Amino acid sequence: MKLIVWLIALFAAAVAVTLTAKHITGHASLVMPPYQLELPLDQFIIVVIVAFLVFYFLVRLVLGIFGFSKRHRHKKTDEMLLSGLKAYFEGDFVKAQKNATVALKLANSATVKAISAVIAARSAHKLNQVNARDQYLNNALNQVPSEKSLCLATKAEFQLDDGNYQDALKTLQSLYSGGGLQPTAVLQLELEAQQRGRNWDAVLELTEVLEKRQSANKTYIKKLKHDAQIENIRSKAIDSQSLNQYWLHISPLEKMDSKLCAAAVRSYISLGNCATANRIIEQNVPITWDNDLIELYAECLGYHVNRQIECAEVWLKSQPNNAQLLLTLGKLCTHCELWGKAQNYLEASLSVEPSYKAHFALAQLNEKLGKHELAMSHYNKGLEPCLKQLI
């Protein structure tokens, strides 16, 4: 359509010039020593118009050639980049690296250069070409420093894959030096690095930040936080003061978590603080009826075992068929040399759920009573399920 309009305009101009030229008299003289050219004025006007049109079309032609070259370059870059991405996700890392390298050479955009370098580096990483991988990233950091966030995050990920969590933390710190809000993926990389370094306080701080991010997997972050709290409790079992301060810092709702309670109980038992360990169990068991906590109730025995028996017998009214609770009562009674009650509770535990722990407890009880054959029988019965698991 535009071409038709241009042709109509040219024909109209030609007609107008022709009609005008009939009424124009005079001459135009062009002097370029030692040459001189004299033309009628109407011919001169036509020559000027034709020269202008020729010049105009030549300029358009030259610009079109350069524009085509530029468009072709962009198209080729996009094709190589997309082809490299496709190959990478298909697992063809050789092709992905090759095409991404071509895109990297052709690209003019800083973002495209960075993405191409990262694809090439990731492909080299998959192929275990460590030197090539690092070279791609280093070149990208030098050529397009404006996209260092992408390159440094990728570098930190490679360092984690190589097992160098300390180097990964240093790389991330250099990324943080620029300030600003860090992407969720970067924080998750630091979270993994802090986990490997067993820096549980730092892990908990990061989980609290990620819990507020819409882009984070809330279920996964919640699990990481829970695991970090358990590990932190274990790491605080170096002295009672550190453990007490940390346990008091935990919210009342979190203290109702049986796994956290079990970790705290074990830590207090390792420090010989049976009073606190038993108090945690007594507060939590009526709520959770967690078997691990019930079992731990017989692990730390001090001067108040009779009171523990009374407490456990109160629980038994609510859980009369709880095999673990019956076993714990049997152990507590054995410690207090209440042989008859101990035997009744242990046999009741076996009747509800046969377990090697109950058999061993009965075997030890019978040994103390001098019933060695019966003790040996329970030892053998307790070993049978253990041997079956090994086989």
Q: What string of DSSP letters covers 333-376?
A: HHHTT-HHHHHHHHHHHHHHS--HHHHHHHHHHHHHTT-HHHHH
For residue 151, the model assigns a pLDDT of 92
Provide the number of structural domains found in the chain: 2
Question: In sequence order, which residues have a C-beta less than 8 Å from that of residue 235 and are 6 or more positions away?
Answer: 198, 200
Mean pLDDT by 10 residues, the chain (391 residues): 58 58 59 64 64 61 51 82 92 93 88 92 94 93 89 93 93 83 89 93 92 86 93 90 91 91 95 93 94 93 88 95 95 93 94 90 90 87 72 55
H or E stretch at 38: strand 35-40
Query: What per-residue confidence (pLDDT) applies to 182?
Result: 85
Domain holding 154: CATH number? 1.25.40.10
What burial letters (b/e) apply to 104-141, b meaning 16+ CB within 10 Å? bebbeeeebbbbbbbbbbbbbbeeebeebbeebbebbb
pLDDT at 324: 96
Residue 295 in domain: no
Q: Which of 175, 191, 224 is the last residue of a domain?
A: 175
Question: What confidence score (pLDDT) does residue 10 get?
Answer: 60
pLDDT of residue 63: 47
**What's residue 121's pLDDT?**
94
Report if residue 118 sits inside a domain: yes
From 113, 146, 175, give the residue that closes a domain: 175
Residue range of the domain that includes 318: 307-386
Predicted confidence at residue 117, as pLDDT, reads 93
Query: Is 70 inside any structural domain?
Result: yes
Q: Would the pTM of this model clear 0.95, i.e. be above it?
A: no
- The pLDDT of residue 108: 85
In a domain, 72, yes or no: yes
